[in-house]
A and B are shown apart, each in its own frame.
Chain A
Amino acid sequence: MSTLTAAAPRDSVRPVRRRITAGRLILHAFLITMVVVWLFPLFWAIYSSLRPIADTINHGYVSLPASLGFDNYVTVWQQADMPHFYLNTFVIVVPGVILALTLASMVAFCCSQFSWRFNLLVLMLFTGGNLLPPQVIIIPLYWIYRLTQIPNLALIDFGSFSIPLFSDNGLLYDQYIGIILIHVVFQTGFATFVLSNYMKTINKEITESALVDGANIFRIWRSVMLPLCRPALAAVATLLFTFMYNDFFWALLLLKSGDKRPITSALNNLQGEFFVNYNLVAAGAMLAAIPPLVVFIALQKHFVAGLTLGSTKG
């Protein structure tokens, strides 16, 4: 670590090792302190969410609990109609991720395995579009959504929950399909960028020999490229799920009906009217946080891989 050890590495092996151990201890102590700092806000939210408000009022906020339980969760789940908002999110995110992956993998395939006049320009349009702040386009987008006519062909009912195909007010505005559409288009930019980075590393001879064998490029995309890209697709799917699940902006401005809102923006709506105390706020926030946390814990590898692919090779 010092000039001395570097100059005489062999003689100083033992002292170095001892010093490293001491250094390691300090390092771990520091990291553990930081971990405590990092986890505290989340711990506090979980703690508050498990504590009945009466107990908090009796003993004060910073105190040991007399009782803990899931009462706040039950209250939020039932009275704020959480299952409905989870379903809204589901209806938006599942088609959103699938469509964005499909479109992006096609563009990435055509742009990375073949070179034609505008392939770089196309990649730049997609990548640049994804980097724009959404607020730059929201005003015209809002009016496009208000003015575009969309037919309603059917209504799919699941008990009290119904999904219009495609629009129950004849517009793109205030519809699941509108939110899905903007998610797909916006995130196709990101996914195209990441997937084309990945596809660049795939030997072009594979595509070529498939062409020689007489497969058309759609078939090559479907049966050769997609299976080869499975790791990248998994990584991007994980990220897209999180991006779409966590979205607040599009749903806030392009949806009006409270009962169509996905869970994150519904949470904001509940803030004023339903969350009468902070322990309920905590339970609501935790309920919204659980799906992405579960995905993260289960698929952490993909998560990091996706972000890394999007950065190191760019």
Chain B
Amino acid sequence: MANRANASTTPAPAGAAGAGELVVTRQRRRYSRLTRIDKRLMVLMVGIPLALDLILIWGPTVASILLSFTNWSGIGPLTPANVVGLKNYQTLFFSYLFFWPAVKHNVIWLAFFTFISTPIGMFFAVLLDRELRGGRIYQSIFFMPVVLSLVVVGFIWELQYAPNDGFINNFFGLVKSHHIVDWLGDPNINLYSVLIAASWRQVGYIMVLYLAGLKSVDLALREAAKVDGANEVQTFFRVVLPVMAPINVVVVVITAIESLRAFDIAYIVNRGKNGLELLSTLITNNSLSEASLVGFGSAIAVVLLVVSLVPIMLFLSRVMRTLQ
């Protein structure tokens, strides 16, 4: 830790060289002041949470990768005889019936969130980002579903979608005329029904993120655009949106992560089957709740991990840049 002072000279804040130097000298002085007790305390204060994080999050991540090369079933010890190489992946990609449909459903989920939920959330934010009577109330109402559990969201929408007892089929007379649409049961449409329910929650989340982003856009910038003759739409797309680049990254990351994590609603509806297969539900169904194919399920988990690393890395590189 003694050579810390060296490393801390590198991250000089951009555009503020003078201030940067000041910080560096200060840090150098401070470091000589940390006593041995302080350093030990610091090891404890960071070490305990870090150990837990490594044991219960990153350790299992690595274990998932290792287990994916085995055919362990959870019964008996795990021995070298269990190692099967890439066989699980072979089965997964070439003969497991539900893998590609699940991938497709995750992609549809991502596309729906990206092209429907996110623009709606952004649109709400733009509308509410002005002095508006009752703006706060509108904002609270759009945001309200975000605080609800996805289980509750699933139940609330089951009340709308239920074939004989749901609001939609009754309201449109489909029950009386015996043209019942099974919104959550029909594998051709249930994914979209679930996505509407999930978006009910997602839109408010995106809206709040963009409202925060819009607040950080300098008013003078918009005024300048207006003076230059840009209309509101032009101002938004050419000036405001580019300035909000950091928020856009966060929204992209959140959208991607939420789409990959999607599990709860699909599980509530039918345990992620019959049109609602997702990578996440395949993992639990194959390895924990119905079968005990630990190795095979881990291979699916690794696929999910690899895909998730894209948005995670994007986010971390962003964080890295702002922290330096």
Q: Which residues from chain A sit less than 8 Å from chain B, CB to CB?
A: 1-3, 6-7, 24, 27-28, 30-31, 34-35, 38-39, 41-42, 44-45, 48, 60-62, 103-104, 106-107, 109-111, 114-117, 120, 122-129, 131-144, 181-182, 184-186, 188-189, 192-193, 200, 204-205, 208, 211-212, 216-218, 221, 242, 245-249, 252-253, 264-265, 267-268, 271, 277-278, 281-282, 284-285, 288-289, 292-293, 295-296, 300, 303-304, 307-308, 311-314
Contacts and interface: CB of A to CB of B under 8 A. Distances in A.
Where chain A touches its partner, the secondary structure class is helix
A140 B60 CA distance: 5
A217 B143 contact: no
Given A111-B46, A139-B64, A139-B288, A312 B213 contact: yes
Interface in B20-43: 23, 26-27, 30, 33-35, 37-38, 41-42
Given A135-B304, A211-B30, A216-B41, A41 B156 contact: yes
A27 B138 CA distance: 12
Interface of B: 1, 4, 7-8, 11, 23, 26-27, 30, 33-35, 37-38, 41-42, 45-46, 48-50, 52-61, 63-64, 67, 74, 124, 127-128, 132-134, 138, 140-145, 147-152, 155-160, 162, 165-167, 170-171, 200, 205, 208-209, 212-213, 216, 226-232, 246-247, 250, 253-254, 257, 260-261, 263-264, 267-268, 279-280, 283-284, 287-289, 294, 297-298, 301-302, 304-305, 308, 311-312, 315-316, 318-320, 322-324
Given A2-B231, A124-B319, A133-B308, A285 B50 contact: no
Nearest to A129: B57
B26 A204 contact: yes
Given A42-B156, A122-B50, A216 B231 contact: no
A131 B159 contact: no
Contacts of A252: 267
Contacts of A265: 151
A285 B156 contact: yes
A293 B144 contact: yes
A277 to B, nearest CB: 8
A252 B265 CA distance: 13
B288 A314 contact: no
B42 to A, nearest CB: 5
Nearest to B311: A131
Contacts of B301: 135-139
Contact of A281 (B27, B55, B59, B158): B158
Nearest to B280: A135
A116 B149 contact: no
B1 A117 contact: yes
A27 B133 CA distance: 11
A208 B23 CA distance: 12
